[in-house]
Amino acid sequence: MMNQILFGIIPILFLYFYILSSERLVGITAGCINLGKICDPKELLKEIEDVNAKLGEKFHDKKYMQGASKQLYKDTKGWQGISLINETGKGGSEGLRYGGTANVFKTIAETQYFPTEYLKQSQALQELFATLERKYNTRCGLARILKLEKGGYIAPHIDYVHPSSRSKVRCHIPIVTQYPDIYMTIDERNYFLEPGNLYMTDVSKRHSVRNNSAIDRIHIVVDLERTALLQSAIERGNPAINI
């Protein structure tokens, strides 16, 4: 009887550890993969400035969300954002609260997303997301413009701990950055992300961000549904610049 139980458990354990390891296949040895040029960062920066002026919008402080690490928000400074796509279409500081636990426990396919008014007012950002969806036969999920103020710091943390996260790829598109003073640390390696490129970031690994420069760092951050085309691009991509 005991042998039958063991023979039944072993395949389940094998499958469990295989799934866990498959979550880390993205990037294989690197936590940040460069997928190539995707936009003109100067044009997008101007677009962001124009939409901010048109709507009277501003970057909002990232505040603690239910289910997130309290230590992350305690130790982090200068982290702000503008929501572009979320589960309600709400903007402002309220829109930034959507994501968090709800986003972690659902796949993109299981979730209905809505554009915020900010995204509706930006043709360039709409075209950027449409380009991503066409190029990789994918769907955009949670999307934000995130700013880290000069001298700012995002404390070490881990996202994507739920099995549903295997279906998502967290991508960064740097708009304003500076080498080598602004960098992202993933799994104890420091990466510089070049403006205008699309990057896969493995946020299932411990990661943080430092801005030691005199300028504000601005990135567009979007979750993409993992598809065969996107996975293939990741496997063919090159690691981001290591500093």
| pLDDT tens string 58-110 | 999 987 766 667 778 889 999 999 999 999 999 999 898 865 545 667 889 99
Task: Give whole-number Cα distances, 155 to 7, 208, 209, 237, in Å.
Answer: 43, 5, 7, 27
| pLDDT tens string 117-135 | 999 999 999 999 999 999 9
**What's the average model confidence in pLDDT over 218-226?**
97
Residue 1 pLDDT:
52
Instruction: Give the confidence band of 15 by pLDDT, cuts at 50, 70, 90.
Output: very low
7-11, 12-16, 226-230: the lowest-pLDDT one: 12-16
Helix 41-55 to helix 123-136 angle (10° resolution) is 130
Residue 121 pLDDT:
98
Residue with tokens 């990037």: 27
The chain-wide mean pLDDT, for the chain, equals 87
Answer whether residue 25 shows pLDDT above 50: no
Q: Map 24-37 to HEC letters.
A: CCCCCCCCEEEEEE
User: Which of 242, 184, 193, 239 is CA-nearest to residue 212?
Assistant: 184
All domains of the chain in start order, with CATH: 2-242 (2.60.120.330)
Residue 24 pLDDT:
47
Quick check: 48 and 124 in contact, CB under 8 A?
Answer: no
Task: Give whole-number Cα distances, 211 to 25, 155, 185, in Å.
Answer: 28, 12, 11
Instruction: Give the confidence band of 7 by pLDDT, cuts at 50, 70, 90.
Output: very low
Residue 23 pLDDT:
43
Residue 62 pLDDT:
86
CA dihedral 35, 223, 13, 8 (to 10 degrees): -120
Answer whether residue 170 shows pLDDT above 70: yes
Residue 70 pLDDT:
72
Residue 162 pLDDT:
64
Residue 67 pLDDT:
64
| pLDDT tens string 26-66 | 434 699 999 999 999 999 999 999 999 999 999 999 877 66
Quick check: 111 and 84 in contact, CB under 8 A?
Answer: no
